[in-house]
Amino acid sequence: MPIVIRLVFTIVFGFLWWWTLTFVGPSLMFLVILGSILTLCVCCCTGNDPPGEWNWDRHLACLRRCGPALLTLIVGLFLLGILVLWYTTGVFPAADLLRIAIAAIGSVIFIRAICCAYQ
């Protein structure tokens, strides 16, 4: 049963990550990819607990363990997205703030959810 749950988590959150990547468009793809990579660097997937059977308590504990670091990463990615678009276009990206927020939040949360499923 744990294999099925991990498979479902991978498919659901992987699809949501892909949707985030395609929704934000080519101008913000760098933000989704960078956020995904940095999520793995900021909070490693392995914890102090020995690997065992999958359960909700372990999954939620894994998600909570790096909450402040992930929140800092999301804020940093959001600001980076604003700065990069502002620099490349010369105009404050007010119309793109929602896409920047989705890229910053989605890339971090969805990768973390998949990662914690395998702990």
Backbone angles phi, psi at 35, to 5 degrees: -60, -40
| Pick from 17, 75, 81: nearest CA to 42 | 75
Whole-angstrom CA distances from 19 to 2, 26, 32, 54, 71 are 25, 13, 11, 26, 21
State the residue range of the domain holding 75: 2-117
Cβ burial 46-74 (10 Å sphere, 16+ → b, else e): eeeeeeeebeeebbeebbebbeeebeebb
Per-10-residue mean pLDDT, the chain, length 119: 86 95 92 91 64 78 85 95 95 95 95 85
Number of domains in the chain: 1
pTM of the complete model:
0.86
Q: What is the pLDDT of residue 10?
A: 92
